[in-house]
Structures are given as C-alpha cells and as structure tokens.
Chain A
Amino acid sequence: MELFLMTLTTGILVGGIYALVALGWVLIYKCSGVLNLAMGELTLIGAYVTYAFYEMHIPFILAVVLTLLVGIILGFLTERIFLDKLIGEPILSVIMVTVGLSFFFKGAIEFVFGTDTRVFTPPVFALKPINVGFLKVSPVYLWSFILSIVLLIILVCFFKYTRWGLSMQATADDETAALSLGVSARFVYAAAWAIAFMSAGVGGALLGNINGINISVGYLGLLVLPAVVLGGLNSVPGAIVGGIIIGVLQNLSGTYLDRYFPGGVKQIMPFAFMAVFLLFKPYGLWGWERIERV
C-alpha cells in the first residue's frame, strides 16, 4: 500500500510537469490549428538553455526566467520564419514542417552541446527526501510540481483576464470573427508559439533536474502527445488532467508491470494505452467531436 501511494504521488508530481508542456501544445493547436510534433525538442532546448545559464553561476530561478525570455524570442522567430508561410496548407505539410523543425533543433542542440549526459552541478534541489505526511518525497519532484502548478495558474489567468489572452481565446474560437473585430491573427499565432516554447522550456529544465540532461529529455517531451490525446486535443483542462494521468500511468506501470515485462515498459505504456484508448474514445475526454460532411 505504501509503495502504491508513493508511486501515485511521484506520478502526480511528474504529471504536473507533463501538464505544463501539454498546455503549451494545446495552445498552439487551439489558436493556429498546428499539430506540433516538435514538442520534445522544445523541452530539450529549454533544458539545455537553462543548463547553460546555470553553468554561468546564475541562480536557478533566474536561469529559468532567462530561459523564458529566450523561449519568447525563439517562439516568435520560429513562427515568423517557418509556420507563418504555411497557414491554410494541408495538415500533412504542417505536421511535417514541425517534424523538420524537430530534426533541425535536435541536430543544433547536439552540435552545440554534444551527446554526453549533463547534470546540474551543484544540484539545484536537496537530494535528501522530505516527509510529507507519512510519505517520503524527493524535493526535486515536489518543487518541480509546485513550480509547474504556479506557472499553470499564471497561464490560465493570462487567458482569462488579460487583453492578449482574450484575443487568443477569440481566435481559437472563431478566427474570422476575431479578425473582423480587429484581433491580429498573426500576433496570436506568434504568441501561441512563444508560450509553447516557454512552457516546454520550463518543463525541460525541471525534467532535466530529475534524471540529468541528454537527448532522452526530448523523449519525455514527446509524452505530451498521449497526454493531449487523452484530454482531447483542444481542451485546456483536458491537457492538465491528461498530463497528470500519463504521469501516474507511467509510474504505476514502471512499478507493477516491470516485473512481468522487463525492459522499457515505462516508456512504452503511455503510447500503448493511447493506441487502445483511441479505438474507444477518439476525441479524448473533453475534445470537440468533429462532425464531417461531404
């Protein structure tokens, strides 16, 4: 029972990070309709950029803030250079441009930083587990969860209450109507990419603290895909719940199924679960069901 609760807690805590990255994904999809397969590489960029700042003896929190700034710049640039020209193209073209971007980013990261695993030295978070109630939790997980939840709340408030957030919501809801009311769609697309870069960047920095930074952080970023499918592609609460479910599922299967299927069951389970889930509920938990007509 204690093992179960420990696994569950770890799952929920890691799931918070996935939820943050998944939110960035959903934003791009909602605002501009782009299905982004480069999310793993965005987390990778975030992890390495934070690491580079941290190496310059900048405190971790400040490094994360600087990463956010870099994320905004990269997001605007990516949207303007690559995605802006593809508005209205078929879905495969847009998806494959994001795949091309993911290759480009991954190659660039490996070119600059190499393939060795990097570790934040000195460690950002204390290594000794702390007691929460009767559970022992590693501080990395706890602080990561708290940081991601804070950012999630900031982002959701940004959408609900600020002028820019409202214009993004309007574009997501009905692009033509938003355009006729004077919302600049191009600005909204760029803002969506900037926010995605930011959220993925912070997610990457936090994930990099857990296991060290190497290319596999990009794989963890790819886990947002099962998360968003689970929640429904265009649902913000869905992304958050989906991220947490994927975190829990991953850790539970790692603990309980690894005995029967030794090897990488932890990495595979989210994708296998997603493939089966799609058969029964293709639009996820809260996604809009699209009715097709000829």
Chain B
Amino acid sequence: MSSVWLPCGDYHQDYAEDQGWWQSRVIKGKMILVLAIMFLGIPLVAPDYWLSVATMVGYTAMGALGVQLLIGYTGLLTLGHAAFIAVGAYTSTLLVLQFPWPAFILHWGLAYPISIAVAGIVAGLWSVLFGLPCVKVKGFYLILTTMAAQFITVDFILTQYVSQIGGRGQAFSLPPGTIKVGPWAIENDFEVYYLMAVILALMVIILANLLRSKVGRAWVAIRDNDIAAEALGINIVWYKLLAFFVAGFMAGIAGAFWVSNTAALSPEHFPWFWSLWLVGVILIGGVGSIHGAIFGSIFMVVIMELLQMVAIPLADYYPKLLIDFAFIKDMAFGLAICAFLIYEPNGLAYRWWQVKNYFNLWPFSY
C-alpha cells in the first residue's frame, strides 16, 4: 500500500501526505467506488445465486488473507490453514449452542458477535501452538508441522472427539434465530452477504494498516532474510509467532463466519484440500500482496462456477459428467496451479500492477 505509484505531476509536499492512507484523489475515488459496489451494487443487482457465489468469494478471501500474511509477508510456509478455520468454526458453534448466556446478551443479540471474537482468539492460540516449531525450523520442515496440525486437529480431534463421526455422532446444527448480530438475524443469502462484506472490509483494512506499521516492516524483513533481520535487532521469534497468531485469528473469524452460512457443521468442511486450495489461491492471485489474495479468490471461485455452468448443459449428452464433476474440478485446479507457476509466476496481481502503471504514465510511457 505504501508503494503507490502516483500519476505524472503529483508530488507529496509533507510527511502527512506521504504516509496518507489515500495517496491521491483517483485512489480515494476508486476505493469509494469499490466499497459502493461491494455494499450497494452487488447486493441490490445480483440474483440470489450470484450473491451466494460472492459470499463464497469472501469466505475464500478471508482464509487466503491469513495464508497471504504467513506465506507472502512473513515467508512462513503453511499447508494447514483449514485446521485453524475449523477451530474457529467449532469454537463459535459450541459457544453459541452450549454456553449459558445471560438473558440480556441474548436479548441484544451479542452472543454470536462475542463468539466470533472468542473463536478468533482460540484459533490464534491454536495456531501459535503449531507455529512453535518455526523457532527452530523453516521452509519444508515448517510445511510438515503445519500439515501435522491439519491432520491432528481436523482428522483426529474434531472428527473423533468433537463431532464423534463413526461413534455416537454429535450433530452441530444451529436452529434458525440463534445467529443474531445485534437486532439483525442472519438468515438469508442477502444478510449473510452483508455480514461477509463487513467482516472482509474490516479484515482488509486492519491487515493493510498492520502491514505498513512497524510490525509489518518486521515481517517483511523476516521474509526477505531472517538472519539479517535478527542482526538488525528484530525479535524474530516474537514476530514469527505474532504472524501465526494474527493469521490464526483471521482464520478463526473466517470459520466463525462460515457457520452463519452453512448453519450445520462437520469436519468435512475443512479438509486438507481446503488448506491446499487457499495456498493455490494466493499463488494464482500473486504472493505478497493483499490484492493477490482477493484477485485469486475471485478468479478461482468464479472459474469453478463457470466450469459448473458449462458442465450442466453438457450432462444431457454425457450423464456421467455430473457425478465426475468433483474430479474434473480437482484436475482443473491442479493444472491451473501448475500453469500459473510455470507461465505466470507473479500471479494476477502483477498483471494488475502493470495495467495500472501503464495508465498512470499514459500516453507517455517513460
């Protein structure tokens, strides 16, 4: 955010301007436009089906932002992010369903918002627990410990003990009316979309601000070279664990939000596939930029929806296609990751940046 390219002829005249959030009028207008489309345009125009697709984009982006923070900004490779989303989702559901809330909190509709915050903190601490090996190891070894986090959390603890799949079986379904934010009950696609939009906007703003602070600069220094960062006096253990906490916190909130969309919870919503998917999303979008996480989510979710729209009419001629669609989706995802890494390693965000620069300097490209 800080390295915004200004149009020809615009110069900063004091420090306040240089550190300003909106660096030029064009950017300010653009951001207002984006927010207007997000909060007014899409919900008023889009039909219910595309609204739920947009919600899916938002949920993917929430997870991808955490992965982006870990991989793109701190250089901590993670392949187990779905575990922390799952922890957040389960914490929130258990709190809403089983905690003895005082009557006035239920009356004011605060139970679900409080559970979102608690879910974030619990998932953050859980993430720090599995991030502890990052003190000693990095790179591939860290991938393995985060993979262990995924298998231990989702496939073992949540499947066997919390949901008790294959045993007594504990169903987590939220009856209508339990998910209430203040006076509003979150029940249809429209309300879920608004909840998503508010949470996502807050997340992006907070993360972007965090990244241009001292903390964010420390993270980037650790990503570029952690030994050099340590020599510069950055407490790398503290900042790495902080990155794990913040990423886990965001994952927990994403999970707690997801509960409002599904209204029923099962460990199958958080497979290892989903962790890999989130990493794939930031690779396609572009590593090391918030734009990348958002672009990647939009691209992946919309492409998969389009693939499905193509597959449904074709199924008249080839009925097996509908059953096999999940497998085709897997193959398409795998090939997309490979193709992007080989032919477009900088991701979509880099193209966006090129287009933006071209128009900033247009018509004189020097």
- Using a CB–CB cutoff of 8 Å, the interface residues on chain A facing chain B are 35, 37, 82, 85-86, 89, 91-93, 95-97, 99-108, 110-111, 225-226, 229, 233, 261-265, 267-268, 271-272, 274-275, 278-279, 282, 292-294
Please, which residues of chain A bring their CB within 8 A of the CB of B329? 107
Contact across chains for A104 and B334 when beta carbons are under 8 A apart: yes
23 A-B pairs with CB atoms under 8 Å apart are A85-B342, A86-B341, A89-B345, A91-B139, A92-B287, A93-B345, A100-B333, A100-B336, A102-B334, A103-B331, A104-B334, A105-B334, A107-B330, A107-B334, A111-B331, A261-B160, A267-B156, A268-B155, A274-B145, A275-B130, A278-B141, A279-B132, A294-B231
Q: Does B61 lie at the interface of the complex (its beta carbon under 8 Å from any beta carbon of A)?
A: no
Please, which residues of chain B bring their CB within 8 A of the CB of A271? 144, 147-148, 151-152
Please, which residues of chain A bring their CB within 8 A of the CB of B156? 263-265, 267-268
Contact across chains for A110 and B345 when beta carbons are under 8 A apart: no
Q: Does B119 lie at the interface of the complex (its beta carbon under 8 Å from any beta carbon of A)?
A: no
- State A105–B334 Cα separation when bound (angstroms): 8
Q: Does B292 lie at the interface of the complex (its beta carbon under 8 Å from any beta carbon of A)?
A: no
Contact across chains for A107 and B328 when beta carbons are under 8 A apart: yes
Which residue of the partner chain B has the closest CB to A92? Answer: B77
Q: Does B101 lie at the interface of the complex (its beta carbon under 8 Å from any beta carbon of A)?
A: no
A225 CB contact (under 8 Å) in B136, B147, B166? B147
Please, which residues of chain A bring their CB within 8 A of the CB of B137? 278, 282
The 9 A-B pairs of least Cβ separation, nearest first, read A103-B334, A263-B160, A107-B330, A104-B334, A100-B337, A107-B331, A275-B148, A271-B148, A100-B338
Q: Is the interface of A mostly helix, strand, loop or mixed?
A: helix
Contact across chains for A108 and B280 when beta carbons are under 8 A apart: no
Contact across chains for B141 and A100 when beta carbons are under 8 A apart: no
Which residue of the partner chain B has the closest CB to A81? Answer: B338
- State A265–B227 Cα separation when bound (angstroms): 38
Q: Does B335 lie at the interface of the complex (its beta carbon under 8 Å from any beta carbon of A)?
A: yes
Contact across chains for B151 and A268 when beta carbons are under 8 A apart: yes
Which residue of the partner chain A has the closest CB to B166? Answer: A263
Contact across chains for A92 and B160 when beta carbons are under 8 A apart: no
- Using a CB–CB cutoff of 8 Å, the interface residues on chain B facing chain A are 71, 77, 79, 130, 132-133, 136-137, 139-141, 143-145, 147-149, 151-152, 155-156, 159-161, 166-167, 225, 227-228, 231, 276, 279-280, 283, 287, 324, 326-338, 341-342, 345
Q: In the complex, given contacts A100-B280, A233-B140, what are 8 additional A-B residue pairs having Cβ atoms less than 8 angstroms apart?
A: A92-B71, A95-B143, A99-B279, A100-B333, A229-B141, A268-B156, A271-B147, A272-B152
Contact across chains for B331 and A268 when beta carbons are under 8 A apart: no
B337 CB contact (under 8 Å) in A85, A96, A110, A233? A96
- State A161–B336 Cα separation when bound (angstroms): 41
A82 CB contact (under 8 Å) in B130, B133, B161, B338? B338
Smallest distance from the beta carbon of A241 to chain B beta carbons, Å?
18
- State A97–B228 Cα separation when bound (angstroms): 29
- State A136–B237 Cα separation when bound (angstroms): 52
Please, which residues of chain A bring their CB within 8 A of the CB of B130? 275
Please, which residues of chain A bring their CB within 8 A of the CB of B337? 96-97, 99-100, 103
Please, which residues of chain B bring their CB within 8 A of the CB of A263? 156, 159-161, 166-167
Smallest distance from the beta carbon of B281 to chain A beta carbons, Å?
11
Smallest distance from the beta carbon of B342 to chain A beta carbons, Å?
5
Contact across chains for A275 and B145 when beta carbons are under 8 A apart: yes
Which residue of the partner chain B has the closest CB to A106? Answer: B330
Smallest distance from the beta carbon of A2 to chain B beta carbons, Å?
29
Known contacts A264-B155, A271-B148, A274-B148; A82/B331 CB under 8 A: no
Please, which residues of chain B bring their CB within 8 A of the CB of A35? 140, 143
Q: Choose among A35, A86, A229, A278 the residue with the greatest number of B CB atoms under 10 Å from its CB.
A: A278
Please, which residues of chain B bring their CB within 8 A of the CB of A279? 132-133, 136
- State A293–B151 Cα separation when bound (angstroms): 34
Contact across chains for B144 and A278 when beta carbons are under 8 A apart: yes
Which residue of the partner chain A has the closest CB to B231? Answer: A294
Which residue of the partner chain A has the closest CB to B132? Answer: A279
- State A275–B141 Cα separation when bound (angstroms): 9
Which residue of the partner chain A has the closest CB to B323? Answer: A114
- State A121–B328 Cα separation when bound (angstroms): 29
Which residue of the partner chain A has the closest CB to B230? Answer: A294
Which residue of the partner chain B has the closest CB to A293? Answer: B227
Known contacts A86-B342, A104-B338, A267-B155; A274/B144 CB under 8 A: yes
Known contacts A104-B334, A272-B152, A279-B136; A96/B280 CB under 8 A: yes
Please, which residues of chain B bring their CB within 8 A of the CB of A111? 324, 327-328, 331
Which residue of the partner chain B has the closest CB to A226? Answer: B144
- State A226–B254 Cα separation when bound (angstroms): 30
Smallest distance from the beta carbon of B21 to chain A beta carbons, Å?
31
Contact across chains for B345 and A104 when beta carbons are under 8 A apart: no
Contact across chains for A275 and B133 when beta carbons are under 8 A apart: yes
B228 CB contact (under 8 Å) in A103, A105, A264, A294? A294
Smallest distance from the beta carbon of A84 to chain B beta carbons, Å?
10
Which residue of the partner chain B has the closest CB to A115? Answer: B327
Please, which residues of chain A bring their CB within 8 A of the CB of B324? 110-111
Please, which residues of chain B bring their CB within 8 A of the CB of A104? 330-331, 334-335, 338
- State A82–B343 Cα separation when bound (angstroms): 11
- State A264–B145 Cα separation when bound (angstroms): 18
A262 CB contact (under 8 Å) in B160, B225, B227, B341? B160
- State A267–B326 Cα separation when bound (angstroms): 25
- State A151–B304 Cα separation when bound (angstroms): 43
Please, which residues of chain B bring their CB within 8 A of the CB of A103? 276, 330-331, 333-334, 337
- State A264–B161 Cα separation when bound (angstroms): 10
Known contacts A107-B328, A268-B155, A271-B152; A97/B338 CB under 8 A: yes
Please, which residues of chain A bring their CB within 8 A of the CB of B276? 99, 103
Known contacts A92-B71, A282-B137; A100/B227 CB under 8 A: no
